C-alpha cells in the first residue's frame, strides 16, 4: 500500500466514523416539530446559519474557518453524546469535558497526521472561544436552537423547565459576544414567548 493509499484510507475511515454523528439525537426538534434533530443535521444547519449571518459578526471573521469549526464542533458527540445546554449535566461539565477531550483524541486521530492536527486545532479553538472566528462560531451554535424552540412552541425549554433568565445567561451572553445584532433581533420574540409560557 502506497502512502497515498494509506492517506485516502484514513480519510475514508474518518468520514465513515463521522457518519455516526447522524445517529446522535439532540433535545431540540426540527423547526417543523416533526421529530428530534440529530447532531449531523445540527452541524449542517449551524454552518448554514454562519454562512447566512456572517455579516452580523461583531468583528471581521474568516467564514471558511468558521464553517470548518461548525462542521467539526460536534463530532465528539459520537463518543460523548449530546449534552443539552439546559440539562443538569451541562451545569456540571467536568466529566463531560473529559469525555469530549478523549473523543477528540480518538476521532481526529483517525485522520492522516497533518489533517488530524489541523482539525483538532480547529476544534480546540472553537471550544476555547477566544478568537474572533471561534466567538462568532460559538454564538451561531447558540442561535440555531433558539430559533428551533421558537418555531416549536418552546419544546426543549418546556421539557427542561427553562426560564427567560436561564436563556439570557446560557445563550444570550454567548450570542451577544459574537453577533449582538442577532440577540437584539431575538429578544422581542423571546420576551413574547416567555410572557405567555
Per-residue confidence band for 14, with pLDDT thresholds at 50, 70 and 90? very high
Per-residue pLDDT at 85 exceeds 80: no
Work out the average pLDDT over 6-10: 98
Q: How far is CA 115 from CA 34, 59, 108, 181, in A?
A: 37, 27, 8, 35
Q: Mind listing the pLDDT tens digit for each residue in 42-66?
A: 999 999 999 999 999 999 999 999 9
Work out the average pLDDT over 3-27: 97
Per-residue pLDDT at 92 exceeds 80: no
Per-residue confidence band for 88, with pLDDT thresholds at 50, 70 and 90? low
Is the pTM above the cut of 0.75?
yes
Per-residue pLDDT at 41 exceeds 70: yes
Work out the average pLDDT over 87-96: 69
Q: Which residues contact 52 (CB under 8 A, 6 or more apart)?
A: none
185 CA to centre of own chain: 20
Per-residue confidence band for 27, with pLDDT thresholds at 50, 70 and 90? very high
What's the pLDDT at 95? 82
Q: Mind listing the pLDDT tens digit for each residue in 115-141?
A: 999 999 999 999 999 999 999 999 999
Q: What percent of the chain has pLDDT over 90?
A: 91
Please give the mean pLDDT across all residues of the chain.
94
Per-residue confidence band for 68, with pLDDT thresholds at 50, 70 and 90? very high
Q: What CATH class has 3-196? A: mainly alpha
What's the pLDDT at 96? 85
Q: How far is CA 135 from CA 64, 69, 141, 167, in A?
A: 14, 11, 10, 18
Q: What is the DSSP string of 4-65?
A: HHHHHHHHHHHHHHHGGGGG-EEEEEPTTSSSEEEHHHHHHHHHHHHHHHGGG-SS---HHH
Task: Name the CA radius of gyration of the chain, rounded.
Answer: 17
Residue 129, all three cell numbers:
472561544
Amino acid at each position: 500500500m502506497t502512502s497515498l493509499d494509506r492517506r485516502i484510507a484514513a480519510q475514508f475511515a474518518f468520514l465513515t466514523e463521522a457518519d455516526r454523528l447522524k445517529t446522535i439525537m439532540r433535545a431540540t426538534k426540527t423547526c417543523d416539530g416533526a421529530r428530534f434533530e440529530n447532531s449531523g443535521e445540527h452541524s449542517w444547519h449551524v454552518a448554514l446559519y454562519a454562512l447566512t449571518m456572517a455579516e452580523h459578526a461583531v468583528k471581521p471573521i474568516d467564514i471558511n474557518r468558521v464553517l470548518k469549526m461548525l462542521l467539526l464542533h460536534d463530532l465528539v458527540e459520537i463518543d460523548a453524546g449530546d449534552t443539552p445546554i439546559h440539562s443538569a449535566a451541562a451545569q456540571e461539565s467536568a466529566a463531560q469535558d473529559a469525555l469530549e477531550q478523549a473523543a477528540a483524541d480518538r476521532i481526529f486521530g483517525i485522520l492522516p497526521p497533518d489533517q488530524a492536527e489541523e482539525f483538532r486545532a480547529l476544534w480546540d479553538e472553537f471550544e476555547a472561544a477566544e478568537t474572533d472566528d471561534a466567538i462568532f462560531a460559538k454564538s451561531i451554535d447558540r442561535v440555531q436552537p433558539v430559533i428551533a424552540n421558537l418555531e416549536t412552541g418552546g419544546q426543549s425549554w418546556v421539557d427542561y423547565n427553562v426560564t427567560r433568565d436561564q436563556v439570557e445567561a446560557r445563550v444570550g451572553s454567548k450570542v451577544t459576544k459574537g453577533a449582538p445584532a442577532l440577540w437584539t433581533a431575538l429578544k422581542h420574540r423571546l420576551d413574547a414567548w416567555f410572557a405567555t409560557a
